[in-house]
Structure 1
Amino acid sequence: MVTLCRLIGKNGICQLSKTNKSQAILELISHARQFANKPWADDFYCEVMRKELLQSTGLGKGIAVAHGTCQGIDQVYVALGISQEGIEYDAIDSQPVHLLFLVANPPETQLEYLSALSTLVRLLRNDSFREKIMHCVTAEQVYLLFKQRGCTIPIRT
């Protein structure tokens, strides 16, 4: 079992400046330690955008959980991009996204991937928790919020 804060890590939390969905996703991939400079990062971006064209992962209430399965990835990865301004995302409530999560996984870990997604969605249903994230000034503060929650996910790293 691994905790969500360990999956995200301090270097997997980034402030985003882009307000366009595709640019914000690319910005998060470029800046989060989990994705930056990985040989599979371009393929992962294409897979995420392919899924976004089929159906937006904007869940409403300022949250999106973009995700994709891609060859070359060695484990489940999660990163968080925070946008104070908001990202035009085609969310189901037509509101801008402020918390953009990216979840990547190898093809052979579908159960672990789904566990990570469901843990995120369950956690983000809490209005108070989302508001606390938005009031954080640093990635360290956001990381500590996740650490306090201690959400465990039954996956290998």
Structure 2
Amino acid sequence: MDIGKLLTSDRISFNLKARNKEEAIDELIEILYRDGVINNKKNFKLAVMKREKEFSTGIGYGIGIPHGKNEAVKEASIAFGISKDGIDFDSMDGQPVNLIFLIAVPNKSDDMHLKILSYISRRLMHSDVREKLIKAQSYNDILKAFQE
């Protein structure tokens, strides 16, 4: 999977302002909206929050991977945000989240979100990758963390 096609330099926040899960999701949705990837913030947020109500996407290790499949999404994409202070994300391990990947896929994309989730999860199981992402200062730093 080519992460660079899904996660462009315009879809990153190196300093999320959010103080909670919903604010973080709003902030990342705004990034995708400004980039023209989604055309209706409200509809997409409903899909993401519905998924969050079923089961938190705070998977532990300081990682959150909220995702939504919705007609408001024009193309599969990822928005990524870093929170140095950490955000309460109702994570499985009860710890704050520092790395948040918002996955957006169109309704017609079959299992694309599962493939993206799997790819990100496998990479983030390695503590060195997580550490490089938290310390990232540029888009290239992020791409390098995923490629190593």
- The answer to which of 7-16 and 89-98 deviates more is 7-16
Structure 2 counterpart of 1:35, from 33, 36, 39: 33
Q: Report the secondary structure of 1:79's partner residue.
A: strand
Q: In structure 1, what residue type is equivalent to 2:33? A: F
2:2 is matched with 3
Higher mean displacement: 3-12 or 118-127 = 3-12
Q: Is the aligned partner of 1:145 residue 2:144?
A: no
- State TM-score, norm by structure 1: 0.84
Structure 1 residue 146 displacement after superposition: 3.9
Q: Residue 62 in 1 paired to residue 58 in 2?
A: no
Residue 110 of structure 1 aligns to a residue whose secondary structure is coil
Tell me how far apart the structure 2 counterparts of residues 56 and 111 of structure 1 sit (CA, whole Å): 19
1:127-138 map, 5 Å: 127-136=127-136, 138=137
Question: Relative contact order (C-alpha < 8 Å, sep 6+): which is higher?
Answer: 1
Any conservation in 2 of the 1:62–1:98 contact (CA below 8 Å)?
Answer: yes
Aligned residue number for residue 73 of structure 1? 73
- 2:87 alignment counterpart: 87
Letter aligned with residue 147 of structure 1 = L
Conservation of the 8 A alpha-carbon contact between 1:29 and 1:45: yes
SS in 2 for 1:72: coil
Distance 1:99 1:112 in 2: 21
8 Å CA contact retained: 1:4, 1:150:
no
Alignment match, 1:118: 118
Gaps of 5+ in 2: none
> With structure 2 as the length reference, what TM-score do the two structures score?
0.89
Is the deviation greater in 10-19 or in 86-95? Answer: 10-19
* Segment drifting more, 101-110 vs 91-100: 101-110
Matched residue, 1:104:
104
- Can you list the C-alpha shifts for 1:8-56, whole angstroms capped at 9, x where unaligned? 11111102011211011101211x2x33364222211111111111210
Identical positions, percent = 33
Asked whether the 8 Å contact 2:67–2:113 carries over to 1, the reply is no
Give the conservation status (yes or no) of the 8 Å contact 1:5–1:146. no
Give me the CA root mean square deviation. 1.7
List 4+ stretches of structure 1 deviating above 6 A: none
Matches of 1:147 and 1:90 in 2, distance apart? 27
Distance 1:40 1:110 in 2: 21
- What 5-or-longer segments of structure 1 have no aligned partner? 152-157
